[in-house]
Chains A and B, each alone.
Chain A
Amino acid sequence: MRKIVAKTGNEAMAEAMRQINPDVVAAYPITPATEIVQIFSNFVNNGQVDTIFVPTESEHSAISACVGASASGARVMTGTSSQGLALMHEILFVAGGLRLPIVICEVNRALSSPINIHCDHSDTMASRDAGWIQIFSENPQEAYDQTILAMKLSEDLFLPSMVTTDGFIISHAMQKLEMYDDKEVKDYLGEPKTPFNFLNLDDPITVGPLALQDYYMEIKVQQSKFINESKKKIINILQDFNKRMGRNYKVVEDYFMEDAEYAIVCLGSTAGTARYVVENLRKKGEKVGLLKIRFYRPFFDEQIMDILKNLKGCAVLDRSDMFASTGGHLFNDVKSALYASQKHPIIRDYIYGLGGRDIDIEDIEEVFKDIKEFSTNKNEEFVKYITVRE
């Protein structure tokens, strides 16, 4: 039976992991993701799951063990954050290249230096090119749902996935959570699937070979083509998930966008605050809307372009900076998506909330004011830093 409980983002993800019941979890603790595997190791030691838990000596070894276990036919998960994800960086590409269905519960946290334990998206953004599916969560419910969904996506598509929550804002905030029955999750996911099985002695294979000028390119083009094709499949799998679980998720979510003149595009927990602002402004008769990006990788550029192209002004909220003088990651991706359209709005980047700096209702109201003004009179830089001390 389903039940309504109160859980933090970390607890919700740990519960999802329990219901997924992976064969192997290899992990190393890091704030603010520590709790996920800490709670999960209790499930292991209390016999609530069948998992072999590998408490590695680093995140690099954690993801390396995940690669070994996944290549061996096991269902594999881990959890990490920030420096931990950065330490995994090298092996994320190996997992992507080998198309291994590993799922990471990733809690978004700023990267050093200065060291900081709070939320921004610089960690997840730094690993956006590794061939992984990346899904952002707005609240514990989405974190829970999307962890289960990610396992399905990974095993159906043979792509690794990371599901992210915003550090502390979601990872440590308690909210209402509807949990599925254990059997529901078990039936939904079915038996683990991997693209090959390294431990099959009857069909010995070589995994992770050296491919040089003669074959490397073809292998990588195949990977890229598949990721392009996966977008349709992701939409189908998501629709099926909605039907079975009673959700209404879309790969990118438009809110009051049909007749909107100005809109905000953002990721994760900020979407909740932005939605509240949009509702209030709508009541005042302002034609404003919101586009929440649920799937950041692969990037659903066509859907995003269709939703945004008729706006007058588009404000992208970025919780990360590329340090290239061209703004944040989401801004650059959205801007590229709009280039394919004949008609497109004025677009401005608002970099906010780095290292856990709070973003408030007033800040978002200010963004709407600013984008309106900027659309008619762009005499300032395209990249604006907000929520900064005066």
Chain B
Amino acid sequence: MASIKELASKGNLFAPGHRACAGCGGTIILRLVAAAAGENTVFIGATGCMEVASTIYPYSAWKVPFLHNAFENSAATASGVESAYRALKKKGKITKDINIIAFGGDGGTYDIGLQSLSGAMERGHKLLYICYDNGAYMNTGIQRSSATPFGANTTTSPAGSVIKGKTQQRKDLSEIMVAHNIPYVAQASLFYWNDLVEKVKKALKVDGPSFINILSPCPLGWGYDPSETIELSELAVATHFWNVYECENGKYKVNIKPKKEKPLEDFLFKQQRFKHLKNNPEILEQLRAFLKEKYENLLKKEEISAR
């Protein structure tokens, strides 16, 4: 296990000076991922907040190589990078071992980039894909995505007088990735930074594709005070809104089983996007039931795969 001192002592590979909002979860994720992966790493980023905020010409927040192609194709682009890496290594033109990490938000990963991601994972390229999931298209102004939670207010699923927020439950992308039979799939939370760092290290060691889905609180999109990003990252896990687990070669492990579970309201009502649920308890109950079932299923999968 790395200590926070040790991580900090290496300096930031994703440097301060990017232009993300105060309290942005995505930038903390990238800094931790880069620290865990180390210098011999290249990043391929999808169009989105993290790319836009970190590479405004002529500046770049990246101290390691960074490549942006388009919105829906960071996994396909990374698969090309990985293929070039293999070809050039075979020819002796590259001698170092290089970690290849692609990333995207939930828009670039769950939705527009899903096909590209699925293709790259199925083809077995040795690369790690990181999704920073903030539960909406934040870069274009908080529009709903398939990762947006049930009931959440977004600019395209507004809490109106008739329809009150998003009317569909979240897509379970991590389980879709498990269904690709890739060696390593995990979910992580910023609050459990050590778990996150260890997962990145583990993912980079597997011989094949790996995927880590990380909850990325967004002060602007969720509607909360920027100082509460880490607290919300903890509450999301304590309320089973977001489960921290991994699936390694088909074996599930729930890494964080909160000792003190907290009521879902503690997480939801710190955020403007759910405030209308106070007056719409039936929506809240549907969300609660969905999350409960998800967590229980996860425990069952852990139990079954341990046999």
User: Could you list which residues of chain A lie within 8 angstroms of chain B, going by C-beta atoms?
Assistant: 23-24, 26, 50-52, 54-58, 60-62, 64-74, 76, 90-91, 94, 198-201, 204-212, 215, 219
Interface of chain A: mostly helix, strand, loop or mixed:
mixed
Given A209-B55, A209-B68, A56 and B79 contact (CB-CB distance below 8 Å) = yes
The number of chain B residues touching the other chain, given as a range, is 35 or more
Contact digits for B112-139, partner A, Cβ 8 Å, 1 yes 0 no: 0001101110110000000000000000
Q: Across the interface, do B70 and A199 meet the contact criterion of CB distance under 8 Å?
A: no
Q: Across the interface, do A50 and B81 meet the contact criterion of CB distance under 8 Å?
A: no
Given A60-B73, A68-B77, A206-B62, A201 and B98 contact (CB-CB distance below 8 Å) = yes
Partner of B67 from A57, A71, A215 at Cβ < 8 Å: A71
Please, which residues of chain A bring their CB within 8 A of the CB of B78?
Answer: 68
CA distance A68 to B83 in the complex (A): 9
Q: Across the interface, do B80 and A72 meet the contact criterion of CB distance under 8 Å?
A: yes
CA distance A244 to B60 in the complex (A): 45
B47 CB, nearest partner CB in chain A, Å: 9
Q: Across the interface, do A199 and B88 meet the contact criterion of CB distance under 8 Å?
A: yes
CA distance A55 to B55 in the complex (A): 31
Asked if B96 CB lies within 8 Å of chain A CBs, one says yes
The interface centre, meaning the residue of B58, B64, B119 with most chain A CB atoms within 10 A of its CB, is: B119
B142 CB, nearest partner CB in chain A, Å: 20
Q: Report the 8 A-B pairs with minimum CB-CB distance, sorted nearest first.
A: A68-B80, A65-B80, A57-B119, A61-B76, A74-B84, A72-B84, A208-B68, A64-B73
CA distance A70 to B66 in the complex (A): 14
A68 CB, nearest partner CB in chain B, Å: 3
- Give the interface segment out of B37-45, B222-230, B275-283, B284-292: B37-45
Q: Across the interface, do B80 and A58 meet the contact criterion of CB distance under 8 Å?
A: no
Q: Across the interface, do B57 and A94 meet the contact criterion of CB distance under 8 Å?
A: no
Asked if B260 CB lies within 8 Å of chain A CBs, one says no
Q: Across the interface, do A65 and B65 meet the contact criterion of CB distance under 8 Å?
A: no
Partner of A54 from B42, B83, B88 at Cβ < 8 Å: B83
Q: Across the interface, do A55 and B81 meet the contact criterion of CB distance under 8 Å?
A: no
CA distance A108 to B76 in the complex (A): 25
Q: Across the interface, do A24 and B73 meet the contact criterion of CB distance under 8 Å?
A: no
Partner of A199 from B76, B98, B122 at Cβ < 8 Å: B98
Q: Across the interface, do A198 and B65 meet the contact criterion of CB distance under 8 Å?
A: yes
Please, which residues of chain A bring their CB within 8 A of the CB of B307?
Answer: none
Given A54-B83, A58-B119, A73 and B76 contact (CB-CB distance below 8 Å) = no
Please, which residues of chain B bring their CB within 8 A of the CB of A205?
Answer: 65-66
Asked if B90 CB lies within 8 Å of chain A CBs, one says yes
Q: Across the interface, do A207 and B123 meet the contact criterion of CB distance under 8 Å?
A: no
B50 CB, nearest partner CB in chain A, Å: 11
